[in-house]
Chains A and B, each alone.
Chain A
Amino acid sequence: MERKEEKREKVLVREPITFPQIASLEAISDLSVVGRPVSRTDARLKASGKLAFGGDYPQEGFLHGKILRSPYPHALIKSIRIDKARELPGVIAVLTAGDVPGRNGFGVVIPDQPVICGDKVRFVGDAVALVAAETEAIAQKALSLIEVDYDPLPGVFDPREALKPGASPIHEKGNLLASHKLVKGDVEKGFSEADVILERTYKVPFVEHGYLEPDMTMAIPHADGSVLIQGPMQAPFTLRRNVAAVLGMPINSVRARSVSMGGGFGGKEDSPIDIGCRAAVLAVHTKRPVCLSLEREEVTLQTAKRHPHIMEVKVGAKKDGRIVAFQGTIYNEKGAYASLGPLVNIHSAIMMPGPYEIPHCRVNAYLGYTNHPFGGAMRGFGAPQVCFAHESMMDELALELKMNPLEIRRINAFRLGSKTATGQILKESMGLREAIEACAAAFDWDRRYREAGYGDPERSRRRGVGMALGFYRTSIGTGFDGCGANVYVHEDGSVLLYTGITELGQGSFTVLPQICAEELGVEVEDIRLVAPDTDLVPESGPTVGSRSTTLMGNAILLAARQVKESLLETASEMLFIPVERLEAKKRRLYDRENPGRFVSFKDAAARCMGMGRRLIGQGWWAPPPLGVNSETLQGDPYFVYAYSAQMAEVIVDMQTGEVEVTEHVAAFDIGKAINPQAVEGQIEGGVAMGLGYALMEEVVLKDGYIQNLNFQDFLIPTVLDVPKVKPIILEMKTQYGPYGAKGMGEMPNIPAAPAIINAIAHACGGRVRTLPASPERVYWAMKERAERQRAK
């Protein structure tokens, strides 16, 4: 599997992107459903507490699964005795590594994580035995009766230490899981032309997704040998693939059903695979349905986090502010298992120089295993980490050159036709500069930058303003990006829409029906979306990468058009009007030149059914896979990007280092906003999450043990921490998205933290280079600045 993975990377060099445009942008001005703030289709159920989340489904007759975890970050398993646990009344099964029927490993990219560890444990959350019992309490008791002898090994807790010779090897192939190199131009030549060169190191920690719904899963074996896995999950198809391999079954024997999630943010891409595989093994072994629910502390112990990065940045610029060279080194901490790390590593490398046109760039990204919990996907997939580095560096450079932070960004930011760090030419849908100007105008940057800031030594609470830019892809880019949709129109005009895109709160169950309704010419209420279930819906890939609206939206358009063809043909016969003159809108098919002549959607559908005409459409859409050279990362990695400019105001307490964020303006070019209210919600929520990343969020680790397992110590923003956020939506449409839409679920999270950190520096003079900017860190940053001033 690993070898295959490497092979795939080698053949990634490909021709430039060419694929058909999906929508004629001129024809989309007159929309009746798309572009409107339609209320969520699931809002009423959610407001009344009636929507069933995973743990709300009945559990009568289910066994309860529990996981015995390693107490050591790194150890060999010498022996394991399970007799006592097995004899406990109510215990149905106690399983160890030998009981896994198929492949004893799972993972989104590389299956390097054991379902049950046999010989070795690699972090404190590793599973060494699984228990199924009649009640949760009995299962819990059984865990305490399992005796395991460990032989502890030296732990590796720093990604730089992990790569040194002599470091304790965590996996057989060593501790370097992946390394990527981006090379554009000649960075040495660039630095030789620079008037100013700055070098800085920035660090970001592990953070939790903090979805409020803890993970849970149900595994239900069927008489025909198939198994149903039901629960919150962002990636039912990836889960199915993994569970099938672990059970040693063909993929078509595993059915994955995703129920609406209480938040995911990327975390529920792989945690459901982890517990899904384990519950499935218990269910198949006991031939009974098994429910495996994690407590909050278990979620923190066991599931993926955002990857920590140590980022060394060197930047060279001309006196006038033009950046001529960028060099970055990323030590990307993997933790114990691969999860999505290799893909995050590529993305971090690609995104590190930021949304700036820089002629000479080099980035080296090293992904090293450690004996910590593992990194996975989290809203931004490497981009929030590197954005903190490049945006902090932009402000440090502006300070060095005595320039306004807005001015230096105006000079260097992408424009239409710019060449990115991968050498991609941005040919369309480029709204970064519009976002910068809209944000600056709404925030009143020039005045506030002048009036706030370090300067008045008398004030004990000082205001400062900061800004940051970011960009983000739509799609995964590295494959598995195909999206299928089925549209099924019935003779009464009602519609079923089948997709495998899941609902984690982002609003796809509303936005996708909007696209379907617009294309068919009906209302959102006419569409019933079939919840994702791999036995019912076509392959859709995972709900990640800000891909759902654009990629699945395109698939829905293609599916709806197949049905629409039947409807238009039928309406044309009924009205004696050529098909070319017909328009479908608001449940009518009518003559564009004489809208009074129409047939209802329902009548046309009934007649289609009677005549045996096609009323089921299947659409399939995928962007081309990653088109970059594997040696240099040069090429076109993604087909389109969204852009953002954000500005924040903070007040810093000069005595304590406490920071209050008082205002945040966030402007975006996201192409067409299919549902502006949902877009605003993503912006406000993404900014709040970025505020947490900036100021308070950190999984604190000591010798491999997490110190803050629950919300009492792992702080996420409350309503008192988050200021009013002003969202600004700009629509520079892409010809490759439905109605011109680009992805935007992750984008708001990316520049929020550095905007706040830059505002702190502006307010108090202290530059925090390690997140989060706790009062202590801000205090020491101020101290350090004061000492530097004195030395001068």
Chain B
Amino acid sequence: MKDLQLTFHLNGREVSVQIPPHLQLVDLIRDVLNLKGTKIGCREGECGVCTVLVNGVPVNSCIFPAMKAAGQSVTTIEGVSAGDGPLDPIQQAFIEEGAIQCGFCTPAMALTAKALLDENPDPDESQIRQSLSGVLCRCTGYSKIVRAVQKASLSRRSSG
């Protein structure tokens, strides 16, 4: 099959690439665009570590055809903050609360939390847990992740 032209917004910049039509979004991000913060754990949309935001909504990029992103706005962890400058309050809260262990789910967790807080700046614990339930973490037992999202919610509201 012939490659197709894909144009979309990635982390606020317009990107135009020629890709095979069957390529999944995660492979476009990791292999073609060389952004390695998005991870692959299962390739069947179960573990959630490949989560990116499409128009602010979390999706499993391992089962999301890249061509579906045409004209859309995609955010990866590098678009939240790649760590060169100041971190986002969500990333900061993950660090301070000890919500990071192996770190393999962290980009997905942070992006999912961002989608939640952008939509609902003051979620209660059950809303936080509902929203994070699509991303698995095998290390932390989730307690500190939930607390980090609560902390980020507070610090975003007090600074905003």
Contacts and interface: CB of A to CB of B under 8 A. Distances in A.
Contacts of B138: 209-212, 263, 265, 685, 689, 716
B103 A296 contact: no
A40 B100 contact: yes
A320 interface: no
A55 B40 contact: yes
A677 B99 CA distance: 10
Interface stretch (A12-20, A142-150, A403-411, A503-511): A503-511
A139 interface: no
Contacts of A44: 83, 87, 95
Given A47-B83, A211-B138, A719-B132, A296 B41 contact: yes
Contact of B95 (A39, A504, A711): A39
Interface string B34-49: 0111111111101101
Interface stretch (B1-9, B64-72, B142-150): B142-150
A260 B103 contact: yes
B141 A49 contact: no
A45 interface: yes
A261 B81 contact: no
Interface in B79-110: 80-83, 87, 91-92, 94-96, 98, 100-107, 110
Given A40-B100, A263-B104, A505-B101, A52 B46 contact: no
Contacts of B78: 48-49
B136 A213 contact: no
B101 A506 contact: yes
B29 to A, nearest CB: 11
A378 to B, nearest CB: 12
Pick the most buried of A37, A39, A48, A678: most chain B CB atoms within 10 A of its CB.
A48
Nearest to B110: A47
B140 interface: yes
A49 B41 contact: no
B10 interface: no
Contact of B146 (A49, A711, A719): A719
Contacts of A213: 39, 41, 102, 104
A53 interface: yes
A687 B144 CA distance: 13
Interface residues of B, number: 52
Interface in A623-676: none
Contact of B143 (A37, A45, A48, A724): A724
Given A47-B83, A48-B87, A262 B103 contact: yes
B110 to A, nearest CB: 7
A710 interface: yes
A295 interface: yes
A267 to B, nearest CB: 11
A252 B30 CA distance: 35
A458 interface: no
Nearest to B81: A48
Nearest to A718: B133
A684 B141 contact: yes
Nearest to B129: A719
Nearest to A723: B143
A725 interface: yes
B139 interface: yes
Q: Which secondary structure dominates chain A's binding surface?
A: loop
Contact of A214 (B41, B81, B83, B141): B41
A44 B87 CA distance: 8
Given A42-B103, A262-B39, A296-B42, A685 B140 contact: yes
B28 interface: no
Pick the most buried of B41, B95, B133: most chain A CB atoms within 10 A of its CB.
B41
B76 interface: yes
A265 B102 CA distance: 11
Contacts of B159: none
A778 interface: no
Contacts, number: 171
Contacts of B158: none
Contacts of B137: 212, 719
A791 interface: no
A719 B144 contact: no
**Interface footprint category on A:** 35 or more
Nearest to B128: A719
B136 A47 contact: no
A710 B41 CA distance: 10
A681 B144 CA distance: 8
Contacts of B144: 680-681, 684
Contact of A710 (B44, B49, B146): B44
B74 interface: no
Interface in A447-471: none
B77 interface: yes
A49 B38 contact: yes
A325 B69 CA distance: 67
Given A46-B106, A56-B36, A680 B98 contact: yes
A48 B44 contact: no
A43 interface: yes
B2 to A, nearest CB: 17
A399 to B, nearest CB: 30
A332 B13 CA distance: 57
B35 to A, nearest CB: 8
Contacts of B133: 718-720
A360 B34 CA distance: 63
Contacts of A214: 40-41
A505 B141 contact: no
A712 B100 contact: no
A42 B102 CA distance: 9
A319 B140 CA distance: 42
Contact of A711 (B42, B106, B141, B142): B42
A687 B37 contact: no
A711 B134 CA distance: 12
Pick the most buried of B96, B106, B132: most chain A CB atoms within 10 A of its CB.
B106
Given A505-B102, A678-B98, A722 B43 contact: no
A686 interface: yes
A707 B118 CA distance: 40
Nearest to A50: B83
A265 B95 CA distance: 22
Pick the most buried of A210, A505, A506, A507: most chain B CB atoms within 10 A of its CB.
A505
Interface string A8-46: 000000000000000000000000000001011011111
A39 B82 contact: no
Contacts of A43: 94-95, 100, 103
A363 B23 CA distance: 56
Interface in A686-733: 686-689, 710-712, 716, 718-720, 722, 724-725
B40 A681 contact: no
Nearest to B132: A719
B130 A685 contact: no
Given A44-B95, A710-B44, A212 B101 contact: no
B143 A725 contact: yes
7 contacts: A43-B94, A46-B100, A49-B37, A262-B104, A688-B140, A710-B42, A722-B141
Given A210-B136, A505-B101, A712-B44, 18 more contacts: A44-B95, A46-B100, A48-B37, A56-B36, A211-B104, A211-B138, A212-B138, A213-B41, A214-B41, A263-B104, A504-B102, A684-B140, A684-B144, A710-B44, A711-B44, A719-B132, A719-B145, A722-B143
Among all A-B residue pairs, the 8 with the closest Cβ atoms: A49-B37, A505-B102, A48-B83, A46-B103, A262-B104, A688-B141, A684-B141, A49-B77
